[in-house]
A and B are shown apart, each in its own frame.
Chain A
Amino acid sequence: MEIIVCAKQIVDVSDIKIDDKTNEPILKGVDDKISDIDKNAVEEGIKIKDELGGNLTVLLVGPSEATENIKELLAMGADRAVMVPWDGSSSYDVVSKIIAGAIEKIGDHDLILCGEASLDLFSGQTGPRIAALLDLPQITYAQSLDAEDEKIVGHKDVGGKVVSIESTYPVLVTVTKEINEPRLPSLMDILGASNKPMDVWDAESLVSDDLQPGLETVEIKGVPMERKKIVFHDDLDESIEKVVEKLAKEGVLG
């Protein structure tokens, strides 16, 4: 089984502050990491590989510094990594074309795994776009997977229903956070990761199309959440009395 897991490097959203003056999010100095749900995809890939045998390649299109974060995925158990440095447009149409190009260059692929969405932008576009570009069937939002040699079944929640979808390979699957708990690599695994192969490919060589983004970002505005932050921590009875008083004044007790 040839498994490819697509991963994205993102900024740690919980670290983002909004600039008071410009009202723009401050991204400078914010830590970056592999998007959480992509680790669930890697974990699921490792489990399937352990059961059915095969190879697991992680693929990342993004800033060249991401090589550091990719090592974590190799330490988890991926066999090799492909890194495509890209600091051009992050529009989904552009990035998915580069990813699809890289998958074609990797060659054999039975199972392509992605997270349902990345934690920074949470659009959920990349998986289905890759599937469309490669003309593959897609199973999205899988909460559990039953993989066998010839076919795979994914189960997902669709508004009050559990829908099970079966496909032969090759297929693209996106997974949710509920599917598993990603393993934490041991120190030995982390040391071992540096010996695993990492190819670095040039984005332009992977795509024949022009990479004109279909969307242009006009503006990113901070959304300040203004809350009163009145916290009572002394005598409990008194705190409760005051809070109920406040809620009544706000007119929300009715």
Chain B
Amino acid sequence: MVLVYSEDKDITLELLSKGSELTESLDEELSAVLIGEDDPDQYIRHGADNVFVVKTDQETFKAEEYSDILVELMKEGEDEVLLLGADKNGQELAPRVASKLDTGCVSECTALYVENEDIITERVIYSGKALAVERFDSKPAVVTVPPKLFDPLPEDEERSGELIEKEIEVSPYPSKIVDIKEKESVGVDVESAETIVSCGRGFDNKEDIEIAQELANNFEGNAVGCSRPISADLNWLPEEHWIGLSGHKVKPRLYIAVGISGQIQHIAGIRDSDIILAINKDEDALIFESADYGIVGDLYEVLPKLIEAVKEKKT
């Protein structure tokens, strides 16, 4: 069996899409796991052959109890693959489950396929400098899949499948969630932006980020991004804007890095950009090694002129 689980419904649908491809090559069944209340039929319509509907006392996701639930579901040892979402919850769940099942685990795969009946994965290592191709020698193959890597299958109203209710009791752990605070959403989605103007430490103060926004406004599907220090250390922009190894990975048509030095951890997030333009006052800045075009100059001089030039060119 190939099992898919994410606490996030959208990710589950994406996992089902990849899962159905794998089940075809492996000649196996595809099962979705639903923990808690939601409509299980939607998973059938999106490719699952059946859905385990797990009833539990646990109100919200918690890695310890949820991994015990998954382990209990898989205790017969027949399962070939377990796909989980590579969001924060999935990332702490997967290795815990894999460890309990004494099996291998690959985090954040970029590709996943069957070759000579083996499960093969690819993932990015060394901050994007290399790709590791790995083969599972253990079962089940536990793999986390980043959001939006695969498109969900189109909904098929005709599909039918079995809903299997499971009552699973797990003993609670001595840890508990004591507070959940919603952060105000800023509604920025750098991951799907077509053009990104990104700000680094070269900016002198928070207000000046407005100039970057002004440049961005000349492009459709634009967003303002930033390097880690702008978000994590200075708090000038919320983490939705933060790009890099520990932030968002982006793939715009045009990425404009302004006042960013180009450390490898930042580059890790922008490798898939089509065109990179860098603006930096230091002609030896590392960023120019990772850029298609570069302008050496003070951003406070360059940006106003660039804004004018872009406007002019477009009319």
Contact = CB atoms under 8 A, between A and B. Distances in A.
Interface residues of B, number: 87
B99 to A, nearest CB: 4
B103 interface: yes
A194 interface: no
Contact of B177 (A164, A214, A220): A164
A128 B126 contact: no
Interface residues of A, number: 82
B306 to A, nearest CB: 5
A129 B96 CA distance: 5
Nearest to A181: B233
Nearest to B310: A244
Contact of B297 (A125, A214, A239): A239
A230 B292 contact: yes
Given A215-B134, A216-B135, A217-B134, A125 B105 contact: yes
B313 A223 contact: no
A209 B254 CA distance: 51
Nearest to B131: A221
A129 B305 CA distance: 53
B239 A157 contact: yes
A115 B255 CA distance: 31
A243 B126 contact: no
Contacts of B239: 157
A218 B294 contact: no
B64 A232 contact: no
Interface in A165-180: 165-168, 171, 176-178
A222 B129 CA distance: 6
Nearest to A217: B134
Interface in A136-168: 137-141, 153, 156-168
Secondary structure dominating the interface of A: mixed
Interface string B103-136: 1111110000000000010001111111111111
Nearest to A116: B246
Contacts of B182: 160-161
Which residue, B100, B126, B131, has most C-beta atoms of chain A within 10 A?
B126
A88 B128 CA distance: 25
A166 B178 CA distance: 6
Interface of A: 13-14, 16, 18, 24-25, 91-93, 96, 119-129, 131-133, 137-141, 153, 156-168, 171, 176-178, 209, 212-223, 225, 227-233, 236-237, 239-241, 243-244, 246-248, 250, 252-254
27 contacts: A14-B127, A92-B105, A93-B105, A93-B138, A120-B125, A121-B126, A121-B132, A122-B125, A128-B63, A132-B97, A137-B173, A138-B175, A162-B179, A177-B246, A214-B136, A215-B138, A217-B132, A217-B133, A217-B135, A218-B134, A225-B267, A225-B271, A228-B291, A229-B294, A240-B305, A240-B306, A244-B306
Given A25-B126, A216-B135, A230-B292, 12 more contacts: A92-B105, A93-B103, A120-B126, A122-B125, A161-B180, A215-B104, A220-B125, A221-B131, A229-B292, A233-B294, A250-B254, A253-B219
